[in-house]
Chains A and B, each alone.
Chain A
């Protein structure tokens, strides 16, 4: 699956073309309005960036690819759609011109007001948004889906902690907000499980995509002695490539970056949106009702770790597999007593926060072992 992904994207794009051409012909000749056949389920997916960004958008595009392989499902995709009225119009165009019945809006800023407005305007169409924003007050034909990527970062941490010779790990992060801090913390807890003396140095770039600053951050971390680098930015491409060029190991984020680091890649935290997308397609194909809110991690096969890279030793692989098995079985990562990196206790002894605990979403601290500050 890992290395075959990009080529397979290209191959079936051609397939989609054929399908689209046939669909257009059918639409214009039979129906006039250009809608797809009633038997077909048309699913629209909207991306905020390019589908081949080695990051967030690619993770969704890979899942879209898996959806296309389901017979009777047609997927229409649009990339580089800004978080403006353009996304409303894109969704509307998918509904009006392509006959989409389900829309996946994959960028945070698509939700309010754009997707909510469209959900009100088209009550018969299902809209789902990739973040945990939906509440009961929102339209019932809208919803949220989200994956606990921090679990995969925890596995990354184990690989990094075991592989590092210096015990110093580097983390390039975008902004000090909840989800990012949670990933840093889980990575650190994994690393400290593998090597109790490990430390994780964090550099915040302040932006979701700032390639120059990301490269500078990697260089600074490597200069400071870090020999494994990972990140939470929109597209980890620059981070992974820079780490490889500096001759250190790396762990990925969001999508598969193994090809960018043929020597130093360990593993990476990846979304597995395909699981959710296929579930939804199945439900609609059988006439069922989509849930409004789905979330999960390894227990539901919603996240995964990239296939091991060249730098991952057998010991690392075995430890990671064990961690994955535990996560699948629902073993929590956040177990008290736990201190933050200012020495304050954040989880008391005897308290456990499992993956579904919303407390984790409000993470505003960095755990002990992280060198860095949230402000």
Chain B
């Protein structure tokens, strides 16, 4: 990608040689080039699919651009949809550093949102809004963290497969939500849709000034940066990655594997719980079955596409937010069914996973590779 000549001159004494630097850049460029190639490839395959349906790929991609990124409204639409995906993707990405595949983030989201509403209800009217919001924030993170932390605990203590247990715990989470909103905390004013009472307009998280996007997006991006630093620049992160690389070696080195597993899962659950917090505090104002919207499962896709790199999660989440945002326009203008967008997402996923084999190989010369 970048030509050697464009590099700043190596000024420091210990600076690597130009050739080494170029090689490093080539290797890291692969992490940008390969996903882009995969996106283009899946777009081409999808075009064939559209042509088979007698539809125009040009019109489709034009609408995709317009509905997702083409106007100020489209951008806001995209960003609002991306916000929860950032949090739920983190719920997959952090345990993935330890080699754990946690797919039950939806459960932590649901319970985090429920916890936020439950803690807000008794204090919503009496305490100032910042206090209420802080309590909700903490409650959502703690409950979400405990939920996925439990997955880590089961994994470490009893050897229970974390993928299965997190998925099964999701069903339990939904039952808990349904029990609470249909029973003890049901709003009598909402007979046909069981729901908790509202936390009150004054306690809602507002939008970023001038935008129709709530604060969940910047906080999610900030969280991605913090967790990236945690995983790449701290001893916790290093130990976690060592554990992910080889558990026995980590144990042999005396690393606290159990604490790392449970801790990483708890951090992950806290992220998903915060997605629930923003759903309740920024959007719905109450907890009900609308929390079960599939953000937790879309987050799995986002995290895998971001190769579990927290810094790559926001752009991927925005890409998926854009696809979701444009889905409506495509349906309306081209008369295509809603499932079209699922086909596109599925294709991107499959092609990107298939492109994993390209890493470490030399790219063709025209893409900046080769020696």
Residues of A in contact with B (beta carbons under 8 Å apart): 13-14, 16-17, 20-21, 23-24, 34, 44, 50, 76-86, 89-90, 92-94, 96-98, 108-109, 113, 131, 177-179
Contacts and interface: CB of A to CB of B under 8 A. Distances in A.
B334 interface: yes
Contacts of A77: 331-332
Given A89-B80, A109-B193, A178-B191, A84 B290 contact: yes
Given A89-B80, A108-B192, A113-B284, A82 B329 contact: no
B81 A86 contact: yes
Contact of B66 (A79, A83, A92, A97): A97
Given A84-B293, A97-B66, A79 B337 contact: yes
A108 B191 CA distance: 11
Interface centre among B81, B193, B332, B334 (most CB of A within 10 A): B332
A23 B335 CA distance: 13
17 contacts: A16-B335, A17-B335, A20-B334, A20-B335, A21-B333, A76-B332, A78-B328, A79-B338, A80-B338, A82-B294, A85-B81, A93-B67, A93-B329, A113-B284, A177-B191, A177-B192, A178-B191
Interface residues of B, number: 32
Interface string B75-86: 001001100000
Nearest to A20: B333
Given A79-B338, A82-B293, A93 B333 contact: no
Interface in B242-285: 279, 283-285
B66 A34 contact: yes
Interface in B163-202: 191-193
A96 B325 CA distance: 13
Nearest to A16: B335
Nearest to B341: A80
Contacts of B285: 113
A81 B334 CA distance: 17
A16 B59 CA distance: 15
Contacts of B294: 82
Given A77-B331, A78-B332, 17 more contacts: A17-B335, A20-B332, A76-B333, A79-B331, A79-B338, A82-B294, A83-B290, A84-B279, A84-B284, A86-B81, A93-B73, A97-B67, A98-B332, A108-B193, A109-B193, A109-B289, A109-B290
Contacts of B337: 50, 79
B371 to A, nearest CB: 47
Contacts of B331: 77-79
A97 to B, nearest CB: 6
B232 interface: no
Contacts of A177: 191-192
B71 interface: yes
A93 B193 CA distance: 26
A132 B284 CA distance: 20
A44 B284 CA distance: 23
Contacts of A44: 332
A174 to B, nearest CB: 11
A334 B338 CA distance: 42
B133 interface: no
B318 interface: no
Given A79-B338, A82-B290, A96 B71 contact: yes
Contact of B73 (A81, A85, A92, A178): A92
B140 interface: no
Interface in B310-337: 324-325, 328-329, 331-335, 337
B186 to A, nearest CB: 12
B59 A21 contact: yes
Contacts of B284: 84, 113
Contacts of B191: 177-178
B218 to A, nearest CB: 17
